[in-house]
Amino acid sequence: MKFLQNIFDFYIQSSIHVGLTVMTLATLSVMQFGFVPEPTLLLFIWLGTICGYNFVKYAGISNRHHLEITRNVLLIRIFTVCCFAGFLYFGRLLPTYIWYTTGVVGVMTALYTIPFFRQKNLRSFKGAKIFVIAAVWVGFTVVLPLQYHYMSFLSERVLLQSAEIFLFVMVLMLPFEIRDLKYDMPHLVTIPQLIGVQKTKWLGTALVGVIAVLIYLQKYVYAFYLPVNVGVLGLLLLVVWFSKEKQGRYYASFWVESIPIVWLVGYLFI
């Protein structure tokens, strides 16, 4: 059992799971627009997410929470180097223009950790943390996969999808923000720090309502996937309202991050 526990911990701590989550949202975006997911692109997104998250978490200057609970940072860093090699390999098989968006997302990820303005990184700016993460996710889960299929980022459909995923990721991040209250420095001004845990949950509820409106406006998505979308939004509300500062070890890092995977599974069984 301990061996299986160690494998599962590595799965979570090495960002394999969050990589699958991002890849899943990218797949959902492609499916909602009627395209067939491209495996090479999805592997590129998955490996890129693993590299980006591990850079942020284990570069040596990130938040204490990850460094405190991770047993073997060295092994994860070696694993990340291997993932980066795979990322470059699959990137070579994709059109050159894919790297433009990837470059923007990569720079945002790097600046999230590396100080660039008066010894501050993007994470250090008041209230910016959750918005930067949501923007990076939109880049990898909406803009990049739809760019591959020659969809303009400025089209109404893509803008609605981007807004939907942006808010979805914000709500998905709230359980993490509540969990990290005891780790985040006061100057970060995260949402729970600013308005408290209870009001954060009400804010999450309001955002879920806005997401529902955005889904409704995308009638080509709404009609066919209505039961799944309603179920996922209900699940999103539940994880927000059951969030607390003292969470189970895997509550946010596994169960909350599994919601997009549940979303995709629901789509596949319709």
What is the C-alpha to C-alpha distance for residues 235 and 256, in angstroms, rounded to an integer? 9
Q: How far apart are CA 256 and CA 262, in angstroms?
A: 10
Which is more confidently placed, 70 or 40? 40
Provide the residue count of the chain.
270
Q: What is the pLDDT of residues 158-195, one digit of tens each?
A: 899 999 999 999 999 999 999 988 887 777 788 999 89
Which pLDDT tens digit goes with each residue over 43-73? Answer: 999 999 999 999 988 875 444 555 555 567 8
Select, from the ranges 71-80, 85-94, 100-109, the one with the highest average predicted confidence (pLDDT).
85-94
Q: Note the pLDDT of residue 222.
A: 56
Strand partners, 120: 117
Reported confidence tier of residue 105, pLDDT bands at 50, 70, 90:
very high
Structural contact between residues 97 and 149, judged by C-beta atoms closer than 8 angstroms: no
Query: Percent of the chain beyond pLDDT 70?
Result: 94
Q: What is the pLDDT of residue 58?
A: 81
What is the residue extent of each domain of the chain?
2-268
Whole-angstrom CA distances from 135 to 21, 30, 58, 195, 216 are: 15, 18, 21, 22, 22
Exposure string of 88-108, with b = 16+ CB inside 10 Å and e = fewer, is: eebbeebeeebeebbeebbeb
Q: What is the CATH number of domain 2-268?
A: 1.10.600
pLDDT value of position 69? 54
More confident residue, 101 or 73: 101
Residue pair 164/134 in contact by the 8 Å Cβ criterion: no
Q: Which residue has the tokens 């204490």?
A: 64
| Confidence class for position 24, pLDDT limits 50, 70, 90 | very high
Confidence tier at 6 by pLDDT (50, 70, 90): confident
Count Cβ atoms within 10 A of the Cβ of residue 35 and give its class: 0-12 exposed, 13-18 middle, 19 or more buried. middle
What's the whole-number average pLDDT of the chain? 88
